[in-house]
Structures are given as structure tokens and as C-alpha cells.
């Protein structure tokens, strides 16, 4: 890494169905909070990066133009990043790159989705001439991948239910989360409606409105409580080709390996204190644990079964409640990256994991095609732990 870079400001909007605010005002909530946290004003910012899902999802073409005022981007270079659901992670990394490259000192990274303004299932699987009208949505794509994972790993079916419970209980400690179910039980998840076999209703993410913003700065401006960026990586692969392994995508494995190498991590499960992973359906917890090297292939589900990824486990996953508790898709990736940074800054409030000094933020997009991951820490990169 050419230059030390840190996250010094983090803001987010409440995740919910937000019919009372405009898109611009909802974006501004996160921006205002991040700027106050970083103790900066718009005049201090050198560049703005916007993360957003496809325009079709909530119906604003070129949101980077539409939101120039709401993002405080007057007179600044703005770049929109665009990689499906992982886009927030890519935007954070792109912001870090601008600083690392010496092109900017302080970058504001902004992300949002206002899903209540559109119809996601229509946008993801709208009927087209000469095509079968499936109308299956995202879950219809991921369900066969999950079935394949279960078959390969011989995981018992309660694993998915347990993940759904863990994340929803975590969300009760996060005031920004969309879903709050303090009384949720494994039996309730098991008995909830089957949407796409084996994905049940309570094993699925909600559709949310929400926003997130972070400020990334060079070392000289890092302030009192920075989250140091130790490693960043993104990787891509084609969505559909013969021989592709979507259960354990090569792009995801290589993405994580690259970030760990930069961060000097050789035993991820032992050296990482907490992880915020892009888990839109419960079974993606064991799938990603294996894909990004936090568990041996075929044994990610055992970490869940042994309680190790629960809030009080030795490797808590998604203490914020994660995607299962709130999914404003354009912001979801940046929320994972920001929550990881909050943990190592010690500013995660009620969902702070004790002693979190090194954390992973992870995001996935498309048909598990786009992968982004960063490692953040309390210690300055290069310092001994």
C-alpha cells in the first residue's frame, strides 16, 4: 500500500420503508452524520464517490447528477460506482484508491437505495419478449446454489434457521436496523413460509430504504479514532459459464486472499476479531465463511452450529444484524464496510464486540460475480500488534 489511509467518519440513515423523506434528504442524513463524525465541512472534501444499484431499481437515471446537491458535491469531482449488490464495497475501495494514489486527501463515499419507490422483483426479472416469465427475483437465483452447498457439505437444515436467529438478535442492538425481532426462535424461522426451497421467509433479507456515508482520509488527517485500512481487494467473474462454481466462486477466494496478503494475515479465522459479511439469505453465512477463508471448505456450517459466529462467539458475524436485518441494496455493501470500521474504532454502540481490533467488511454482487473485501484495524498498518 503506497500511503496509509483511514476511515474517519461514518454515518447512516435509519433502514426502513421511508415514505416521509425524499431520496435526497435520506442520502443527506448519512452524509451529515459522516461529516460531523469526521469533523469536516464540504469545503474540506476533494472528491465524492456514489454507490447505487441499477437505475431501474428505484427509477432515477444518473443519480450521481440528481444527488449532486444532496451529497455536497458542488464543485467537486463525482464518480458513480456500479457493480450490483457489492457496489458499496467497491465504492469504499475506490475512495481509498483515490487517497492512496495521492489524487485526494479526503474523500466522501456515499451510498443509498430507496427500494420503496420501485419494485425489485419486477426490476430483476421483468418479462421480456421470447423469454419465459419467471418472476423469481433474487431468491430464485440463489436457492439452487444453497441446495448445492447443503448437498456438498452435508449440513443439517437447522443451520439456516440458526443464522437467521443470530442476525435478528444482533439487530436488536442496532437502532438503524430495519428488522427488530427480539423474540425470534429457531422454531419460528423453521415454520415460516417457504419462498424458494430451501429459503424460508425469515431466512431472507427485507427490501429497505437506507443510506450510508463514510469519509476516507490520508494518514495526516486521521484524527483521534481512525479505522486504518490494512488491505482492500475486488474481483470479478462472469455470471454463467460451464464449470463455474458459484457455491465457492474463484473471484471471492482470490479477492479475500489478496486483501489478507496486504494486511499480513495468514490465518484469517484466528487473526480477525469480527466480520461483516454480505449475507442476504441465511445459508450465505457458511458459504461465505468458506469462500473467504474463515472456515475450511465444507465446515463453515460447524462454526454456526458451535455458536462461534453468534454475538458472544469467538468470530462474531454481522453484529449489526447484517443484510438479513436491513437491505437498502445500494448501501448494503458500504454498510458492511462501515460497520467493520465502527467495530475497530470502538464506536459500534450496543453491538460493539469487546476487544475488536481487526475486522473484515465484505460485499457480493450480481450472481456472486462481484466480490469486494477490506480489512480494517485499530492499529496503524505496519505496527506490530
Partner 1 sequence: MTAESLSASYTVEFPFERTVGPTIGAFLGGLRDGQLYGVRTERGALCPPLEFEPGTGAETGELVPVADTGTVTSWTWVRARLGDPVPHDFAWALIAIDGTIGALFHAVDVGGDSGRMATGMRVRARWRAERVGQLSDIECFEVAP
Binding footprint of partner 1 on the chain (CB under 8 A): 18-25, 28, 42, 58-59, 68-74, 114, 116-119, 122, 128-130
Cβ-contact 320, 339 below 8 angstroms: yes
Whole-angstrom distance, CA of residue 340 vs CA of residue 89: 11
- For residue 169, give the C-alpha cell: 438478535
Q: How many CB atoms lie within 10 A of CB 106?
A: 20
Which of residues 100 and 207 has its CB atom nearest to partner 1 in the complex? 207
Q: Closest separation between CB of residue 63 and partner 1, Å?
A: 13
Q: Closest separation between CB of residue 29 and partner 1, Å?
A: 11
3-state secondary structure of 79: strand
Which of residues 209 and 290 has its CB atom nearest to partner 1 in the complex? 209
Q: Closest separation between CB of residue 121 and partner 1, Å?
A: 11
Whole-angstrom distance, CA of residue 178 vs CA of residue 182: 13
- For residue 182, give the C-alpha cell: 427480539
Which of residues 119 and 271 has its CB atom nearest to partner 1 in the complex? 119
Instruction: Give the gyration radius of the chain's Cα atoms.
Output: 19
Which of residues 24 and 346 has its CB atom nearest to partner 1 in the complex? 24
Which of residues 70 and 145 has its CB atom nearest to partner 1 in the complex? 70
Q: Closest separation between CB of residue 76 and partner 1, Å?
A: 9
Q: Closest separation between CB of residue 72 and partner 1, Å?
A: 4
Beta strands in 269-337 (DSSP E): 274-276
Q: Which of 276, 371, 374 is nearest to 84 (CA)?
A: 371
Number of C-alpha atoms within 13 angstroms, CB side, residue 69?
4
Q: Closest separation between CB of residue 58 and partner 1, Å?
A: 7
Whole-angstrom distance, CA of residue 218 vs CA of residue 129: 51
Which of residues 62 and 238 has its CB atom nearest to partner 1 in the complex? 62
Which of residues 80 and 158 has its CB atom nearest to partner 1 in the complex? 80
Whole-angstrom distance, CA of residue 247 vs CA of residue 152: 10
Q: Closest separation between CB of residue 364 and partner 1, Å?
A: 26
Q: Is 264 left (phi over 0), alpha (psi -120 to 50) or beta?
A: left
Amino acid at each position: 500500500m503506497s500511503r496509509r489511509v483511514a476511515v474517519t467518519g461514518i454515518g447512516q440513515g435509519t433502514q426502513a420503508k421511508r415514505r416521509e423523506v425524499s431520496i435526497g434528504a435520506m442520502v443527506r442524513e448519512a452524509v451529515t452524520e459522516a461529516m460531523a463524525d469526521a469533523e469536516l465541512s464540504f469545503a474540506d472534501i476533494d472528491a465524492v464517490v456514489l454507490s447505487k444499484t441499477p437505475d431501474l431499481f428505484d427509477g432515477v437515471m444518473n443519480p450521481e447528477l440528481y444527488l449532486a446537491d444532496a451529497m455536497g458535491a458542488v464543485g467537486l469531482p463525482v464518480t458513480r460506482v456500479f457493480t450490483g449488490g457489492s457496489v458499496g464495497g467497491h465504492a469504499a475501495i475506490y475512495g481509498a484508491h483515490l487517497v492512496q494514489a495521492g489524487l485526494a486527501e479526503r474523500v466522501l463515499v456515499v451510498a443509498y437505495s430507496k427500494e420503496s419507490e420501485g419494485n425489485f422483483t419486477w426490476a430483476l426479472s421483468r418479462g421480456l419478449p421470447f423469454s419465459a416469465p419467471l418472476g423469481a427475483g433474487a431468491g430464485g437465483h440463489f436457492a439452487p446454489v444453497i441446495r448445492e452447498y447443503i448437498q456438498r457439505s452435508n449440513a443439517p437444515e437447522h443451520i439456516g434457521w440458526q443464522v437467521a436467529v443470530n442476525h435478528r438478535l444482533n439487530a436488536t442492538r442496532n437502532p438503524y436496523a430495519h428488522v427488530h425481532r427480539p423474540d425470534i426462535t429457531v422454531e419460528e424461522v423453521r415454520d415460516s413460509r417457504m419462498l424458494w426451497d430451501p429459503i424460508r421467509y425469515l431466512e431472507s433479507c427485507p427490501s429497505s430504504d437506507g443510506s450510508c456515508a463514510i469519509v476516507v482520509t490520508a494518514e495526516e488527517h486521521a484524527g483521534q479514532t481512525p479505522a486504518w485500512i490494512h488491505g482492500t481487494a475486488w474481483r470479478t467473474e462472469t455470471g454463467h459459464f460451464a464449470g463455474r462454481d458459484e457455491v465457492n466462486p474463484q473471484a471471492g477466494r482470490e479477492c479475500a486472499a489478496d486483501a489478507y496478503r496486504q494486511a499480513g494475515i495468514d490465518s484469517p479465522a484466528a487473526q480477525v476479531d469480527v466480520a461483516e459479511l454480505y449475507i442476504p439469505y441465511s445459508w450465505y453465512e457458511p458459504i461465505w465463511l468458506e469462500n473467504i477463508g474463515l472456515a475450511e471448505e465444507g465446515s463453515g456450517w460447524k462454526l454456526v452450529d458451535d455458536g462461534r459466529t453468534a454475538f458472544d462467539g469467538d468470530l462474531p458475524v454481522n453484529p449489526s444484524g447484517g443484510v438479513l436485518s436491513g437491505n437498502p441494496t445500494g448501501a448494503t455493501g458500504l454498510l458492511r464496510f462501515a460497520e467493520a470500521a465502527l467495530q475497530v474504532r470502538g464506536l459500534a454502540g450496543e453491538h460493539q464486540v469487546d476487544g475488536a481490533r481487526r475486522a473484515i467488511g465484505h460485499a457480493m454482487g450480481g450472481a456472486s460475480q462481484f466480490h469486494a473485501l477490506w480489512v480494517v484495524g485499530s492499529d496503524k498498518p505496519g505496527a506490530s500488534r
